[in-house]
Structure 1
Amino acid sequence: MHSDSLVIIPTFNEIENIEAIIRAVFSLKKQFHVLIVDDNSPDGTAFKVKTLQNEFSEELHLTERTEKSGLGTAYIHGFKWALEHDYEYIFEMDADFSHNPQDLPRLYHACKKNDADVAVGSRYSRGVNVVNWPLNRILLSYGASFYVKFITGMKVDDPTAGFICYKRKVIETIALNRIQFVGYAFQIEMKYRAYIAKFNIVEVPIIFKDREKGKSKMSGSIIQEAVWGVFSMKLKSIFKKDNF
């Protein structure tokens, strides 16, 4: 049975979470399909997905890449797959339960019923809704969000968020092959390109819970890309409007 909605979940060494997150999505009343984009995880993540495909043959999809190539390229791969397979609502979600699958219908509803083109699962639209993060990481993330809003002019309280629903037309409009960033800044660039294209970006408040199993992929170089990248992205959008 076809669904109008595809949840893209990039994975690298998520064997501890992958079955539980897939089952959580498929237990929802609203039907979502799932695409796992696995970067050749040595822990057997892709093999576990393949075994689950015996149970969820129509709903669960897997693409395997040969190496760890970054979050941004994983999502772009997933976006192109989603367009080829005629999904109308395309979601980004982490595998580690920091994004609650129970919030997927709320993001869907914002786009389907409330006229959002992009629905962002927002940690900061109503104060700071983050659980299990140390204070320094909260300050870093919240500070990065303030910085991005200041530089870009976007009225988005959580521009670095990675829990998102895009309408198909947004993904079709954004020039995916021109996306510059592969790490943390990828999330900012996607929202900024949607903002420049005058799409309606709406924030849906969520509670973000830090992963309990597996290892975080965050690093200093990813944050550095975000800080310098946002500034250069803004300059390019001003001086190269025709081909940004």
Structure 2
Amino acid sequence: MSNPRTLDWNREALDEILSNDKGRPVLFTNARILTMDPVIGTMTGADLLLVGSLLVGVGPNIVTAAQDDDAIVVDCTGMTITPAVVDAVALAGGRGHRSEYVAALTPGNTTDFLVVPDALAAGVPSAVTALVTLPEQVRALVAAGRPVLWGGTDVPGRAGAPEPGIPAAQDLTGSPRVGVWIDQHDFLHQELTADGRYDETRGGRPHAYQGRCWINGDRIDYLDDLGFWAYGEFKGDELHHAGYVMKLG
């Protein structure tokens, strides 16, 4: 159970963040920051500035400019900020370009991060371990700029995990994406139907693959009747799937 002092951590700032409907910046200040960025490295007494879901600044002395911009300020004295998403390949030195460090606290990246007491953050792995084993000690878990945990407890209205199990068939009646999608070489024909199913013809072979599909925004997930999952992405008037680029026929 969280102790009262943990629960009260920057409570006023949390209320401001949750009611922030004017796009005010949010500044986490006076922290030790393990950025995982190979150029920026680790900083002490530093600030993390976010606007919406994006990290826009990291380093010392941002606080003055942030206050000029009416930022919401979260005092992180005695705390360490680390990425909440661990890029294991980057940790092992397996990425060759800085731009590939997608989980790093680098300006321009998505704001997914943890705030934990210094004693629990010898490194990024130990901070993430604290989230799993000592969640009541986590001061903040922020996902895409929105608090998920704060002061060791769930934030009201936080996003929850999807319900376990395969979702019901999706009704695609009226969707502009229903129809037959054909790749540029006329090899793959993928028909999306209003009852939330797909039926593929490959190289003239009908019903090569069939199953259910779910469209969420620009993403489409497939569950084939054989049991495997796949996905695709709509980009403008194109459907990209498994190396194929298709357009509505």
- TM-score w.r.t. structure 2 length? 0.23
- Which structure carries more relative contact order (alpha carbon 8 Å, separation 6+)? 1
Q: Say which one has the larger Rg.
A: 2
The answer to which structure has the higher strand fraction is: 2
- TM-score w.r.t. structure 1 length? 0.24
The answer to which structure has the higher helix fraction is: 1
